[in-house]
Amino acid sequence: MGGQGDGQQAPLLPEDNRPGDGGRVAEHKPSVPTPGPAPTSRIQGSVERPLAANPGRPPADDRFPPAATLPGISLAPDDPQAHFWDVLTRFANACGLADCLRETDRLPLGFLIEPPELPDGEPPLDAQAAEGIAPQRYYGWWWLVHLSQQNTPAGLCVVPEDSYFAQCSRSEDTWRAACDAVLGEPVLADRFYRLVLAMLDPLDEVGELHLQLIIAVRALRTALPERFKPAFWIAQGVDPRLVEVEV
């Protein structure tokens, strides 16, 4: 660089020659001047390296695209209700429960899952699943029951009276009989881990649909939040004491 009028060289920025920087010129911050000898021709001060936006985070890998770009995944569908029903129908089909789906505006997600009809002499769903026979039907049915909220105290008050589920849940005796003959034991905490394993298995088709359905429900709740408030149940005549928390 050319000299200045007083014969001194213009200040230079020292290069950061640490490995991996490719000789890139680093930013320098001048120190605050203090009384004393005049500074030399080079800027004095400590070298500062700009921090990464998120230290320790690995660089993006094109092999693993964001969830929103994966096939079947839609975080913000144009029509959340239609998208939800599309995923719900595909899930029910994959579980062998397509004939059990029923629309009803009385439940928050707009659907009810009826108990499947088994041929005479066929064991209940849990016994079949234990033998490796259509386990997705057993776990899928109970998961949809929980998802629809039809078996909650509030849900039991509003399910259509002419539904097979309402007939089965009319009393403790009728419910016990339905579980013994068709439904099997409820999928509670001691068996729920199997659903999680299915969701985590990249080769499990139904597991992938589990995840898609969860995302579709989230989108629907975002679009129609009023259906998931206590007022939704109370407006249908449900005793407020049965609506303990916001769902």
- The token duo for 7 is 């014969």
User: What's the pLDDT score for residue 197?
Assistant: 77
Query: pTM for this structure?
Result: 0.66
Question: 110 and 81 in contact (C-beta within 8 Å)?
Answer: yes
User: What's the pLDDT score for residue 13?
Assistant: 37
Sign of torsion, CA 24 30 36 40? positive
Phi/psi at 40 (5° precision): -75, 180
- The token duo for 238 is 């449900």
Question: 247 and 234 in contact (C-beta within 8 Å)?
Answer: no
Across the strands, what pairs with 131?
none
Instruction: Please give the DSSP secondary-structure letter assigned to residue 176.
Output: H
Strand segments (E) across the chain: 101-103, 111-113
pLDDT tens, N- to C-terminus, the chain (247 residues): 444 444 444 443 344 444 444 444 444 444 444 444 444 333 333 333 333 343 343 444 443 344 344 444 555 568 999 999 999 999 999 999 999 999 999 999 999 999 999 998 899 999 999 999 999 999 999 999 999 999 999 999 999 999 999 999 999 999 999 999 999 999 876 666 677 777 777 877 888 888 899 999 999 999 999 999 999 999 999 999 998 654 4
User: What's the pLDDT score for residue 103?
Assistant: 96
* Residue-wise burial string across 62-98, b where 16 or more C-beta atoms lie within 10 A, e elsewhere: eeeeeeeeeeebbeebeebeebbbbbbebbbebbebe
Query: Which residue reads 């004491």 in tokens?
Result: 241
Which of 162, 163, 168, 155 shows the shortest CA–CA distance to 236? Answer: 155
In the chain, the largest separation of any two C-alpha atoms, in whole Å, equals 106
Chain centroid, CA 74 distance in Å: 11
- The token duo for 42 is 């080079």
Question: 187 and 143 in contact (C-beta within 8 Å)?
Answer: yes
Query: Which residue reads 């985590």 in tokens?
Result: 200
Query: Which residue reads 């419910």 in tokens?
Result: 175
Please state the three-class secondary structure of 107-161 as a single string. Answer: CCCCEEECCCCCCCCCCCHHHHHHCCCCHHHHHHHHHHHHHHCCCCHHHHHHCCC
